[in-house]
Structure 1
Amino acid sequence: MAAAQIVSAVMDEWKAGIDHHDPGRVAGVFTEDAVFQGLRPYGVGRPAVAAYYASQPAGMTVDYRLLESRRLTDQSATGYLSATFSYPDRADVVLAIGVTLVRQDGHWLVAQYQASASAPPRMATD
């Protein structure tokens, strides 16, 4: 399976969990020991991921666009995406997100997640 398919399948489930305000569903796409860096101090593991998304306001949704993906090994992949988080009562927030995925027990899961303020457009190379 291509890296883009792997990353998109996992992030589609992440999106569905966020859109339905289901922190357990979101946490389910992460490994038990995932390193998670949202916009607050980082956390480790599914409970930290679930707590982060449980604290988000009801009605928050996310749309994302996969910008880059790579298959690192047969059991790992990485992705870089732009995500727009929408809220019913305030301005959207656009973030850059990097993820590293690993294959465990036949499932692709996020082992590392890093969010930051949206990056500028791709740099030109000489």
Structure 2
Amino acid sequence: MSSTTDSEAILRGVLDRWKAAVDGHEPQQVAAQFTEDAIFQGLHPYSVGRPGIAAYYDSQPIGMAAAYRILETRRLADDLVLGYLDVDFSFTDRPTLGLKLGVLVKRVEEGWYITHYQVSRLD
């Protein structure tokens, strides 16, 4: 398995769990995909740690769903993978919101988790 393929597989493993929790409006499950000390920057002020992440996703409307596409990956170390993505958040009552997402996923004893998350709107 090549490094790029391996990095994409790692990202997909984490992001598929994140997406399932986002789509199911399960804020605690979304937060569980992050490290305890994750830096999180959505479209509101940033937070650090799972409680802020859960609160952010709890404030999102029911019916919001995420669709992502990996654009670039970099293996920064054996236990760190950087990903740059397109993410479309769809809603039941408004147009889809297209964003860029940068994530850093880290391997800890239990598996791979997001340790840094930052979205950008490029209008």
- TM-score after normalising by structure 1: 0.91
Residue 69 of structure 1 pairs with residue 56 of structure 2: no
Residue 12 of structure 1 pairs with residue 16 of structure 2: yes
SS of the residue corresponding to residue 40 of structure 1 reads: coil
Deviating runs (4+, > 2 A) in structure 1?
none
Deviation at 1:47, TM superposition (A): 0.5
Q: Distance in 1 between matches of 2:53 and 2:122?
A: 21
How many pairs are equivalent? 119
Partner of residue 100 from structure 1, selected from 104, 107, 116: 104
Q: How do residues 1-126 of structure 1 correspond to structure 2 at under 5 angstroms?
A: 2-118=6-122
Q: Distance in 2 between matches of 1:118 and 1:38?
A: 14
Q: Distance in 2 between matches of 1:78 and 1:9?
A: 14
Query: Which amino acid is the alignment partner of residue 73 of structure 1?
Result: A
Q: Distance in 2 between matches of 1:93 and 1:12?
A: 19
- TM-score after normalising by structure 2: 0.93
Deviation at 1:41, TM superposition (A): 0.4
Deviation at 1:106, TM superposition (A): 3.7
Q: Distance in 1 between matches of 2:19 and 2:29?
A: 10
Q: Distance in 2 between matches of 1:8 and 1:78?
A: 12
Give percent identity, aligned residues only: 50
> Which blocks of at least 5 consecutive residues in structure 2 are unaligned?
none
SS of the residue corresponding to residue 13 of structure 2 reads: helix
Q: Distance in 1 between matches of 2:104 and 2:66?
A: 19
